[in-house]
């Protein structure tokens, strides 16, 4: 489905089986966490992330938008998401229809619709070239459905980390980053 940046394969971030299924479908490196889309700053608390006042101020300046923010998440409960990195990346999109969907579904993992290391799909046709309607024998599953949003021309989200009350640029992307 289209996100505010690229097409993504989405599933509930609070469902271990959905997250595992996406790792398999994308052939994603199991050591790499995925970005989690949220509808509000309050959604982040569902992951045991504690925001200090300065972090809250920074998030309100950065969001909504095409910036994903890495925050500490030391909880063992969310190992299936943080993959031992003890941090998670969150993004609150500016796209109103996506925010409304997130209010209904709750937080969604949303890695780009491609296999690890290959270019992200910019159209549903490109996504279907990766995933088609095949059943994957190792899990007996396939993509449940596609949502066509036309051609997307965005870069991936800009990725920053909030660490020791500083913002560190990790990946330049769709949104130019200014401190």
Q: Over the stretch 10-60, which tens digit does the pLDDT of each residue have?
A: 999 999 999 998 998 888 888 899 999 999 999 999 999 989 898 899 999
Weakly modelled stretches of the chain, pLDDT under 50 = 140
Percentage of the residues of the chain whose pLDDT score is greater than 90: 68
- 96, with CB counted inside 10 A (0-12, 13-18, 19+), is exposed
- Cα separation of 100 and 47, whole Å? 20
Structure confidence at residue 134 (pLDDT): 57
User: Looking at residue 141, what is its pLDDT?
Assistant: 57
- Cα 152 from Cα 126, distance rounded (Å): 11
DSSP assignment of 124-164 equals: HHHHHHHHTT--BTTTTB------------PPPPEEEEEET
In the chain the domains, ranked by start, together with CATH numbers, are 11-171 (3.90.870.10)
């Amino acid at each position: 489905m289209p996100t505010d940046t690229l097409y993504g394969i989405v599933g509930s971030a609070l469902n271990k089986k959905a997250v595992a299924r996406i790792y398999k479908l994308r052939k994603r490196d199991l050591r790499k966490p995925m970005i989690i889309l949220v509808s509000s700053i309050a959604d982040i608390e569902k992951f045991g992330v504690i925001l200090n006042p300065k972090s809250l101020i920074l998030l309100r300046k950065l969001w909504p938008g095409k910036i994903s923010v890495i925050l500490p998440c030391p909880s063992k409960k969310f190992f299936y998401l943080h993959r031992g990195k003890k941090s998670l990346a969150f993004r609150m999109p500016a796209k109103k229809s996506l925010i409304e969907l997130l209010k209904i579904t709750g937080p969604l993992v949303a890695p780009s619709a491609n296999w690890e290391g290959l270019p992200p799909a910019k159209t549903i046709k490109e996504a279907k070239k990766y995933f088609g309607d095949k059943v994957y024998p190792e899990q007996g599953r396939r993509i449940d459905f596609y949502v066509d949003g036309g051609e997307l021309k965005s870069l991936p989200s800009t990725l920053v980390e909030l660490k020791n009350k500083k913002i560190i640029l990790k990946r330049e992307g769709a949104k130019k980053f200014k401190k």
